[in-house]
Amino acid sequence: MSEPTASAGPMVKAEGIHKFYGRLHVLAGIDLEVESGEVMCVIGPSGSGKSTFLRCINHLEKIDSGRLWVDGHLVGYRQRGEKLHEMRESEVAAQRRDIGMVFQRFNLFPHMTALENVMEAPVQVRGESKAAVRERATALLEQVGLADKISGYPSQLSGGQQQRVAIARALAMEPKLMLFDEPTSALDPELVGDVLDVMRQLALDGMTMVVVTHEMGFAREVGDSLVFMDGGVIVEQGAPREVLSDPKHRRTQDFLSKVL
């Protein structure tokens, strides 16, 4: 039986999120909301907890305390009374179907063409017919500017092209939410623009996105909100142009002075 449709509210809501790796306190109390249709960009130095938080949103990392909801549903847990009970892996996997994620590395199947990579999850995970998925996957590859690379294998594609296939692959599951973990950091500089253009169009189309990025221009132009993290906490957040041009906190000022 499918879960009931969530009531209106934020697409992502995090309350008091803590995460430890041994003694390392990676997330030290994250409170955050992302509205439906919002593009939130997350910036900060390496080791600040940005990518870990992103991976907690779809339960690739388990939180140690706090609560995290996507579209009104607790992620990874069921609540009975005051207690949280961890979901079975099959239930977590079902939740992840609504959350697309694009990593720094493209993680494409090397033995599959671009089209086959995009088709794989809807056919294998959702059991959709190959004919229906092929049509949608073809349209998605056209959408990301790769109509001429449908039959190409990953080894025949540039890094930027592989990342655009990875974006199309995530979109093939028709997610409610897209998470991007520094999607351009592994690319040569001249290939970054094509990937950012695809992300800009997704934002214009109304996709809810959380983007961990070092691309300050993208954050300024496309982001609806900007979060600066350091030491596992949110130091500052607000409208991107305001935070980037007039940061209020010393840590934000120090960081931006090195990257802008």
pLDDT digits (tens, 9 = 90+) for 83-134: 888 899 888 888 888 999 999 988 899 999 999 999 999 999 889 999 999 9
d(CA 250, CA 260): 15
Pairing mode, strands 12-21 and 24-34: antiparallel
pLDDT higher than threshold 70 for residue 7: no
The residue among 189, 184, 187 whose CA lies nearest residue 200 is: 184
Task: Supply the pLDDT for residue 5.
Answer: 47
d(CA 104, CA 38): 22
Residues 214-255: pLDDT tens digits?
999 999 999 999 999 999 999 999 999 999 999 999 999 999
d(CA 149, CA 128): 23
d(CA 117, CA 105): 15
Section 197-215 average pLDDT: 96
Section 194-203 average pLDDT: 96
The residue among 190, 194, 184 whose CA lies nearest residue 216 is: 184
pLDDT higher than threshold 60 for residue 256: yes
Task: Supply the pLDDT for residue 85.
Answer: 87
Is-above-0.75 flag for pTM? yes
Tell me how crowded residue 33 is: count the other CB atoms within 10 A of its CB.
Answer: 15
Task: Supply the pLDDT for residue 213.
Answer: 96
pLDDT band, very low/low/confident/very high, at 2 (cuts 50, 70, 90):
very low
**Beta-carbon contacts of residue 114 (< 8 Å; ≥ 6 apart):** 108, 141, 146, 149, 150, 151, 152, 153, 154, 157, 165, 168
Q: What is the mean pLDDT of the chain?
A: 94
The residue among 137, 191, 203 whose CA lies nearest residue 162 is: 191
